[in-house]
Amino acid sequence: MENRPLEYDYTVAKMFMLTTIVLGIVGMLVGVILAFELAFPSINTILGSGLAEYTNFSRLRPLHTDAVIFGFTLSGIFSTWYYVGQRVLKVSMAESGLLMFLGKLHFWLYLVGVAAVVVSLLAGVTTSKEYAEFEWPIDIAIVVVWVIFGMSIFGLIGIRREKSLYISVWYYIATFLGIAMLYLFNNMEIPTILGTSAAGESGIGAWYHSVSMYAGTNDALVEWWYGHNAVAFGFTVPIVAMIYYFLPKESGQAIYSYKLSLLSFWGLMFLYLWAGGHHLLYSTVPDWMQTMGSIFSIILILPSWGSAINMLLTMKGEWQQVAASPLIKFMVLGSTFYMFSTLEGPIQAIKSVNAIAHFTDWIVGHVHDGVLGWVGFMIMAALFHMAPRVFKREIYSKSLMASQFWIQTVGVVLYFTSMWIAGITQGMMWRAHDEFGNLAYSFIDTVTVLHPYYAIRGVGGLLYLTGFLMFAYNMYKTMSARPVEESELQSASPMGA
């Protein structure tokens, strides 16, 4: 063993690959259940009326969003970091006992955190703030996990052989810093056990309960500064980090313009944070912040498209690879969906459009074309690229991959088209007046009309989940196959002839 040449150590990357797959299934399955509950309300009591409290739409909804964001996506981010980080810095985790220990600690603490989140959300222990539903004990655990992640990043950078940091590493650093700042400020809360009664009693009530440091409008402002940028630093920045590594690597093509990638980075960093105000248009936050949110959302198209176009142009002259390799298909369609949803978002952030779109399913559609089409596709592509290299086995089935790609693409298209129609229909019906100036529709009219779109959306979600299960099966068969590779695969695509 001692004389073996130094190799990259993917132990931690493999661990997080497993949670990416498992939590992806959980998050998407809950999502499909929720979709059908809206179309067919009797599904709310699918496990009987005794368990209705736990299978009901409202109780499950935070579990869906958090499982997808903090389960599937975050695991994917961690997994790719522990793979890409070593490679572009040209240093193995096996070279440092401390980093290896931190990596494993990171994984196990993360797993404990996930278990705590699932139990608490099902029990209804929540602060109600979207994507920050966790009460203070879990918040503290999350901060610890995040600090360990940061130590892993900077520890690996500290012992690197490559002097310059590759663009993906920039994005991973930004992910770490961005989420750290946002999460800390948004979750400022005071545990209610600190309250003391006039009679001198303290420690009253549930020990885990807390109250937000901010009230009303300020709370909303901080929450959407967080909520919008959790999307930035969870669904955009780290996914861009992935595509900047995996697409050049898988296609064997250098990035079209490295300079453009540097420019887009600083542009994205500066602009993204301002745009949170677009979630609060026509609310009670100061008008200038709403306008600022709108304007910056539109300017945000520039750096977003800078990255996306850079990726598509990387394939210049090599488009036959898109036809030949399902893996490249995932990444190219992912970039396309990224362009698409970073155009759709700014459109929805225009005040007059937002007046119709806000509170409707169009917003839900927008989130999902981004997350299913861009985040989901990119993370699956990254894992498909990593699997042959970390497990030293060929991908089990290429045709399964290709069918998965088409099933999921159809799923995403059904999802966002139905939600567009549903959202715009409902938005227009809410504001419709008859010739006497009275409201034309009662609220329930605007709900019943959505039934067919809710059903189509459910089918779209089901197709995506089916594709994800095919992905999980393909990965499982790859992991459990006999090893065939003597040495690690190089840059050539495992799909190549």
Partner 1 sequence: MDIAQFQAYGYFILIAILVLALYGYIYHLYTVRKDSDGHDYEEYSNMALNDDITDTPVSELSKENKK
Partner 2 sequence: MFHWLEKNPFFFAVGVFVTIAFAGLVEILPNFAEQSRPVIGTKPYSTLELAGRHVYIKNSCNACHSQLVRPFKSETDRYGHYSLSGEYAYDRPFLWGSKRTGPDLMRVGNYRTTDWHENHMKSPASVVPNSIMPGYAWLFTNVADIDTAYAEQLTVAQFFSVPYNQPVPMKDGSTAVVKMGSSVADANALALAEAKVIVADMRDQDVKDAVASGKIPEIVALIAYLNSLK
Interaction residues for partner 1, span 218-257 (CB under 8 A): 244-245, 248-249, 252, 254-255, 257
Rounded CA-CA distance 394/147 in Å is 35
* Of 317, 222, 302, 209, nearest in space to 264 by CA: 302
CA 441 to chain centre: 36
Site for partner 1 in 255-274 (CB under 8 A): 255, 257-259, 262-263, 266-267, 270
Task: Show Cβ contacts of residue 250 under 8 Å, excluding neighbours closer than 6 positions.
Answer: 325, 327, 328, 331, 381, 385, 493
Number of residues this chain uses to bind partner 1 (CB under 8 A): 35
277 binds partner 1 (CB under 8 A): no
496 binds partner 2 (CB under 8 A): no
Site for partner 2 in 106-135 (CB under 8 A): 124-130
Taking residue 177's Cβ as centre, other Cβ atoms within 10 Å add up to 15
In the bound state with partner 2, the residue whose beta carbon lies nearer, of 287 and 486, is 287
Binding letters toward partner 1, positions 4-23, x by CB under 8 A? -xxxx---------------
Question: Which own/partner contact pairs does 28-32 have at CB distance under 8 Å and 24+ positions apart?
Answer: 28/68, 28/72, 28/461, 28/464, 28/465, 28/468, 29/465, 30/60, 30/63, 30/64, 30/67, 31/64, 31/68, 31/461, 31/465, 32/458, 32/461, 32/462, 32/465
Contact stretch for partner 1 (CB under 8 A) within 166-174, 276-284, 350-358, 412-420: 166-174
199 binds partner 1 (CB under 8 A): no
* Of 377, 461, 379, 375, nearest in space to 415 by CA: 461
CB of 1 to partner 1, least distance (A): 17
Binding letters toward partner 2, positions 213-242, x by CB under 8 A? xxxxxxxxxxx-x-----------------
172 binds partner 1 (CB under 8 A): no
CB of 274 to partner 1, least distance (A): 10
- Token pair of 497 as six digits: 């002839």
- SS3 state of residue 495: coil
161 binds partner 1 (CB under 8 A): yes
352 binds partner 2 (CB under 8 A): no
Which position among 116, 181, 301, 407 is part of the footprint of partner 2 (CB under 8 A)?
Answer: 181
Contact stretch for partner 1 (CB under 8 A) within 43-51, 163-171, 372-380, 478-486: 163-171
In the bound state with partner 2, the residue whose beta carbon lies nearer, of 282 and 406, is 282
90 binds partner 2 (CB under 8 A): no
Which position among 364, 421, 469, 479 is part of the footprint of partner 2 (CB under 8 A)?
Answer: 364
Kind plus residue range of the DSSP H or E element containing 326:
helix 326-349
Rounded CA-CA distance 218/146 in Å is 26
Rounded CA-CA distance 168/171 in Å is 5
168 binds partner 1 (CB under 8 A): yes
Rounded CA-CA distance 316/155 in Å is 36
CB of 351 to partner 1, least distance (A): 20
Q: Which residue has the tokens 């600022």?
A: 292
38 binds partner 2 (CB under 8 A): yes
318 binds partner 1 (CB under 8 A): no
- Token pair of 306 as six digits: 């800078």
- Token pair of 123 as six digits: 């029990």
Site for partner 1 in 44-103 (CB under 8 A): 87-88, 90-92
Residues that bind partner 1 (CB under 8 A): 5-8, 87-88, 90-92, 160-164, 166-168, 244-245, 248-249, 252, 254-255, 257-259, 262-263, 266-267, 270, 488, 490-491
